[in-house]
Structure 1
Amino acid sequence: MTTESAEQTPPEPHGGDDAVRAATVRRLERAMGTLGTAAVARMEQRLSWFRRMSAEDRSWVGLVAQSGVAAFVDWFKNPARGRPAITVEVFGTAPRELTRSVTLQQTVDMIRVVIDVVENQVEDLAAPGGEQQLREAVLRYTREVAFSSAKIYARAAEARGAWDERLEALVVDALLHGDREEGLETWGSALGWSRTPVLAMAGGLGEDSDSTLEDLRAAARRAGHDVLAGVQGERVIAVIGISEKLTGDSAPLQAAEPLAGLFGPGPIVLGPAVGDLRVAGHSVRAAVNGLRAAIAWPDAPRPVRAEDLLPERALEGDTAARRQLVEEVYLPLRKAGSPLLDTLSVYLEHASSLEATARMLFVHPNTVRYRLNRITELTGHAPADGRGSFVLRIAVTLGRLSERGT
């Protein structure tokens, strides 16, 4: 493509660099409109993503291209100005939202197209003897455009990151306190949330809260999980949308274990996995309550499930834990009949001795053994196990207390 206005211009007289530059400027000024139009036409021809853009966004991109040519001509006309103010003169014409429609890579592609259009016409645009001068100016200017593009996108990413952090903190706070749950799905969508099931992790804060959150987010996303993380006092709460690569009952623990080392010292508690982000508050509150109670079980695994801390949580005042122990441990035993409850009570009171329990109940030791196995099947906790006997004792005590008014 050639520029008619440049072809019809009579040869300029030879002179010094300033005279040659002035003659080139006049040619450029006459060709500005043609160059901008040619750049947009070349984009439509070469860039498939540009053709798929909305008419409004294409018009803004075209305006940016026109402004870039005009700003280059103005800068070339006044070399004493030093570095061009590209951020304002070029990108200032487009709305900030355009950075969401056009990626940095696409911006680089646009710059290349505009460079090609201008460089292909250097011989026609430059005054005689000014070809090299114009070519060097184009290279310098396009380098400045590239730097300015990167700066704009970096600032946009920084602003987006700051907004995401504030929104993450808001979501975590809402989940913890059980309010605004109707808006959680919308907030999650704004953060790109898509994974289910969901579980919460609560643990201690490291020396640097910012680096702890950044490391958690980075590690979780590398593993394919969605993640929200926030600091609540001296603890870190992370909400994990588990990757579809992990399946089965072990998926929550598989997702959490690689992240455990990124928390500060002390226990790490996992809330139960739930169906989606809207009901993740249950998991968050269980994890936080478990973290408060975990001090009572020094030998707990790290991480430990909130459900494994039910006795400690119940003693610490967690009503949800008390209710769960009664519903999942005491009530099944009571419905199974008094022999199981009586056997469990006597067994626990007599230091887990089969023989002593059998003598007190006037039954054979094998009968006691059968009943104990049945208790394990119904509750998931073995009376002969130290931890299991503790859970059963607390559950039976709470169950009996709950029946005072019945």
Structure 2
Amino acid sequence: MATAGRRRRTASTATAQEAWLVEVAAGASRDAGGVPVALLGDYLPLLADAAVTGRRPGRAELDAVGRLGRQAAEQGISAGRVVQLYLSAARRLWQDLPIVVRDRDRDAVRDAAAAVLHVIDDAVATLAEGYAVARRDLVRREEVLRRDLVDDLLRGDSDLGGLVERAEPFGLDLARVHQVALASPGRRLPDTDTAISALEAVIFERLGDRDVLVATKDGLLVVLAPADPTTAGRTTHADDLGHLMYRELNRLRRGRPWRVAVGRAHAGLYGIARSYEEARESLTLAGRLNVSTPVVDAHNLLIYRVLLRDQPAMVDLVSAVLGPLAEARGGAQPLIDTLDAYFATGSVATESAKRLHVSVRTVTYRLERIRTLTGYDATDPEHSFTLHAAVLGAKVLNWPTQPLPIQG
């Protein structure tokens, strides 16, 4: 009979303790903004056991806390809130600790407090470590998913339905108008994470965190951003995405000098791939043409892209029209530079002379020399179009610095 009575009292005590710990856990959850109580696991019994017996948790018990930290990260709960849950639970437990512990002598209470603090220290540290490991894994997985998504978007030949589903977690609406901007570093970046973070921060602040992707591809930083539907088929104003990227990247210690190229805005999935191709070709052309401006507008290089579409015809044009200039004293380059300046200044010899830092007489002499060698007169409107197209082609082909490609 006595034994049975003791068992009933023990069961009653255990039930009361469980109810008390449930109440402590619920209060801690409220303090932490509704973080699920399940993330406490066996943390509260560990604290109570430490207060009563002084026992510190074993490795297996701490590993369980670490797993809870990983679960919190995977559920998208902030580290601050889950730590607040644990600290609030410890505070509430100590405040409501049964009278049998609180009525001990001073040394016993001090020992109980030290044991509880040890458990808090070990548990929170393990919790944070598990959380950090999970966050790193999540970031790595997200980076892989983002990089694969960007690759498929820029290629433009993937399954539309699958891309729409994969783009949704990143907030992308593939039916909208987008444009692609590429940033090329002057030197190879040992770590692109800093550049990506800098771009994300400033672009998200300006454009919002939806419909924006920042990633890397082939050594370039890629920004996919929404555009005003009214700008479809052309780039936005120069002070927008390209200059925003250039200003932010130039603040970094590494990578300078940067060059940024912005494709025109296009609608839909295939518009993204088209804008990317325009930006990529613009970067290539800017390098060949020695463009001085750091932000390149694809719209301004359309004529060069047209010329590149039929390279054999362009080589033939340059060879037939400008090839005879190679016979001039000093070679073809000074005469081609003169034509380039002449057309760029609206066929005004005085302005051409200023740009070339030569006399007007030198400009007129060179134009006459060009007419003699080629049979084309730059001052004749009918001839000037052919000469201008040939000069643009020579710039694209980097002739006469490099020999013209041999056509099969």
Q: TM-score range by the shorter chain?
A: 0.5 to 0.7
SS of the equivalent of 1:200 reads strand
Report the Cα distance in structure 2 between the residues aligned to 1:207 and 1:75, rounded to whole angstroms: 57
Equivalence for 1:240: 224
1:256 to 245, 259, 278: 245
What does 1:11-160 correspond to in 2, within 5 Å?
A: 32-43=17-28, 46=31, 49-50=33-34, 61-73=36-48, 87-92=62-67, 96=71, 99-122=74-97, 124-126=99-101, 128-129=104-105, 130-160=108-138
What does 1:2-401 correspond to in 2, within 5 Å?
A: 32-43=17-28, 46=31, 49-50=33-34, 61-73=36-48, 87-92=62-67, 96=71, 99-122=74-97, 124-126=99-101, 128-129=104-105, 130-180=108-158, 182=160, 183-193=162-172, 198-205=178-185, 209=189, 211-223=191-203, 224=205, 225=207, 226-232=212-218, 235-241=219-225, 249-250=237-238, 251-259=240-248, 261=250, 263=255, 265=257, 267-275=259-267, 279-317=271-309, 349-351=376-378, 353=379, 356-357=380-381, 390=392
Report the Cα distance in structure 2 between the residues aligned to 1:241 and 1:158, rounded to whole angstroms: 26
Q: 1:111 to 1:292 in 2, by over 3 A?
A: same
Deviations 1:198-243 (A, max 9, x none): 32223435655463343233233234243321131xx314123259
Deviations 1:157-187 (A, max 9, x none): 2112111211221122113322226233433
* TM-score scaled by length of structure 1: 0.59
RMSD, aligned CA: 4.6
Q: 1:68 to 1:298 in 2, by over 3 A?
A: same
SS of the equivalent of 1:201 reads strand
Question: 1:119 offset after TM fit, Å?
Answer: 1.0
Q: 1:74 to 1:318 in 2, by over 3 A?
A: farther
Report the Cα distance in structure 2 between the residues aligned to 1:208 and 1:28, rounded to whole angstroms: 68
Letter in 2 for 1:120: Q
Q: 1:237 to 1:95 in 2, by over 3 A?
A: closer
Residue correspondences, number = 306
Q: 1:128 to 1:287 in 2, by over 3 A?
A: same
Q: 1:38 to 1:92 in 2, by over 3 A?
A: same
Letter in 2 for 1:221: A
Query: Is the CA contact 1:220–1:259 (under 8 Å) kept in the aligned structure 2?
Result: no
Query: Is the CA contact 2:156–2:270 (under 8 Å) kept in the aligned structure 1?
Result: no
Structure 2 unaligned segments of length 5 or more: list them.
1-7, 315-346, 348-374, 397-408
Report the Cα distance in structure 2 between the residues aligned to 1:96 and 1:275, rounded to whole angstroms: 39
Deviations 1:139-164 (A, max 9, x none): 23223333223222222221121112
Letter in 1 for 2:23: A
Query: Is the CA contact 2:63–2:126 (under 8 Å) kept in the aligned structure 1?
Result: no
Query: Is the CA contact 2:72–2:131 (under 8 Å) kept in the aligned structure 1?
Result: no
Query: Is the CA contact 1:230–1:236 (under 8 Å) kept in the aligned structure 2?
Result: yes
Report the Cα distance in structure 2 between the residues aligned to 1:40 and 1:111, rounded to whole angstroms: 9
Report the Cα distance in structure 1 between the residues aligned to 2:76 and 2:24, rounded to whole angstroms: 19
Equivalence for 2:361: none
Q: 1:120 to 1:44 in 2, by over 3 A?
A: same
Structure 1 unaligned segments of length 5 or more: list them.
1-7, 11-26, 51-57, 323-343, 362-371, 373-382, 395-406
Letter in 2 for 1:172: V
